[in-house]
Structure 1
């Protein structure tokens, strides 16, 4: 195995076929440095290895729980340090409660109340709201020479859905959505104000829902009794961080994938019954979260043919695994007729104990958006600019993401 870590570029992370083919062909796990970082990690690129890593009890998320500690390179700490820049210190604790960073009993304690309240009934009951909001947003954009499907549709839709789920009162939604926009996907100038506004509003919402419960997530978490008030505020940030930007970007990238494959777009418009296959195929094909959370070896052991040292960092390339030719026939091809096996059949929502709690909601929102944009409209969306003029940016540790998607509806 090459002892020199491979320094990945955003272009390589973004290319599921050429970018990962060489890594997959090597025996064991190579060392790689993710874009914008300096700390190396073992990179898992094969589908079966990825599934195994996500359920391996000797690979944990909380580095502080490695027995005896570790002084090995830590890409997760480097990434978190970059992400925390500019945040008021008194609010940082609300950003450190991400479920992806806990293991075992503590992960179960934090996740179970959310799982018990994030019910199929609650997700199903949101569908009419998602449909109404999507239709209103589309109506506002239809007929314009150019509309941004990311900034003017996907982000507002996902933000409204999270506010509705949590229980933000209708009269407060514009104000709270503004804070969320500033915090989660604005230009960065209002990030501290957005963070503070969300924290103080959610604290007040918890007090009000304790006095007068409603049919919303905050009330359900209070009734469940498994979380402190501060942990409920942290849940709101978990939903903002995982339930707005990634889904919004996925919706835009999914539509771009269809625009890049016009025969698939036409097929979906002509055969709406293919929606049930198109949703998981787009999730697999796009895999918005390209690189999973860092895992740490709790002891010296061999994994995927590679001797790991205690404390060594391991990272799962979810995008690469979802394009593994050993798991998918012609994985580079977008095929909305593709049949998946048991379960998801892909790793876009992860796997094992940290499987995404919002997966069902993500599927509902994706299905509604494809219905409203593709199967229920006489004319499908089309790009309003040349394909080379579609703009992308990238974040540390990941591939490219859309900065906007100019379309005509």
Structure 2
């Protein structure tokens, strides 16, 4: 991502100028406002056309909960634009986003970013995802609980001795790094370097983004070679075994999967590490901030720790870290959510809007309520829906419950160390604002 795209900004009041005749140019403030323009969009008969922050190509934006859920399961909306029958004309917001984020990257490394699972469909997506699904087992995740608890406790104890800490940079990032590295199979001695590379790649000021990508990709290649030579009980070894070893000449893995090519295997491991560190770290920071912003809810959680099981899904809904989903493209002309879509037309979903839809959550869905009861399933769309449902959902819930217990319930004095208006935020193309630091007194 170019440094220029990462702006440090204060928050301003959003204003909507939504119409049905011209695209609405969304700002980062509008993207992350759960009410604002989304309320107007949900009330419209047709899907609005919007231009996401930092881009120029209009997309149809889906905002109602039921429509978002339907869009994520609609087979006529695909992620891979090249698979639109007969080709798709017009602008491509996904390509525009990639260009804005990764301009100037070495081609031999940028291809690993393009191998993101979210950009594939159908059999191609299923082939890449199947070995991950079997490797990301409930048993493997459940076995991590005691490790997560020990790691979080050790980290927060050390920070408590200092009296004040940045809970994003000094706690959430190291914790999510250690947890995903333990699952994937990154050696303990290498985890500090991996954290630094991922932060440079995904969350620095942009100046070292290419260096971060080169560092982590080269490391992943080396680690895969080591696990091929000496397999262990980790996820990389399971992927090599279950997804086939194309370097060894096998076309099938032990589970009958088509073998990953070397580039695909590197892409998958890189994806697991990068998405296993930055998004959950940011969610933890934003969820902690949400509770600091709602002292009544924080006091209730501290008084009734048994509410933790409800607080985690409610905070996932309330924060919805991924506000806007990946672009999808209509494979044919058809009507969706009252709108006549043209073949090749880009569509995207506003997950934050869906998770604050009054039709689904009743009055004042913008209110944080840790006693909220959800129905069957997640009760929210923070992890997506359908074939692209987040593989790390169970791990994310586990880590969140441990963190809220360790940081807030067991440390009733934890509080923001600065005034709320002194917090610093940055924003990315097509996205809203994210915390850069979370200073907390412990």
Tell me the TM-score range normalised by the shorter chain: over 0.9
Contact 1:159 1:180 in 2 (8 A): no
Contact 2:322 2:351 in 1 (8 A): yes
Unpaired runs of 5+ residues, structure 1, are none
- Separation (CA, whole Å) in 2 of partners of 1:182 and 1:10: 22
What aligned pairs does 1:1-400 form with structure 2 within 5 A after superposition? 2-224=20-242, 225=244, 226=257, 227-329=260-362, 330-377=364-411, 379-400=412-433
- Separation (CA, whole Å) in 1 of partners of 2:76 and 2:146: 43
Contact 1:163 1:177 in 2 (8 A): no
Structure 1 pair 154/371, CA: closer, same or farther in 2 (3 Å)? Answer: same
Question: Shift of the alpha carbon at 1:75?
Answer: 1.1
- Separation (CA, whole Å) in 2 of partners of 1:162 and 1:233: 16
- Separation (CA, whole Å) in 2 of partners of 1:126 and 1:57: 35
- Of 57-66 and 231-240, the range deviating more from structure 2: 231-240
Contact 1:374 1:381 in 2 (8 A): yes
- Of 105-114 and 153-162, the range deviating more from structure 2: 153-162
Question: Shift of the alpha carbon at 1:14?
Answer: 1.4
Unpaired runs of 5+ residues, structure 2, are 1-18, 245-256
Question: Shift of the alpha carbon at 1:124?
Answer: 1.1
Q: TM-score, normalised by structure 1?
A: 0.97
List structure 1 runs of 4+ shifted beyond 6 angstroms: none
Contact 2:177 2:191 in 1 (8 A): no
Question: Shift of the alpha carbon at 1:145?
Answer: 4.9
Partner secondary structure for residue 335 of structure 1? coil
Question: Shift of the alpha carbon at 1:173?
Answer: 2.1
Structure 1 pair 189/2, CA: closer, same or farther in 2 (3 Å)? Answer: closer
- Separation (CA, whole Å) in 1 of partners of 2:151 and 2:106: 33
Match of 2:249 in 1: none
Contact 1:44 1:317 in 2 (8 A): yes
Question: Shift of the alpha carbon at 1:67?
Answer: 0.4
- Separation (CA, whole Å) in 1 of partners of 2:62 and 2:120: 20
Contact 1:10 1:394 in 2 (8 A): yes
Contact 1:182 1:194 in 2 (8 A): yes
Question: Shift of the alpha carbon at 1:175?
Answer: 2.7
Give the RMSD, CA atoms, in angstroms: 1.3
- Separation (CA, whole Å) in 1 of partners of 2:70 and 2:392: 22
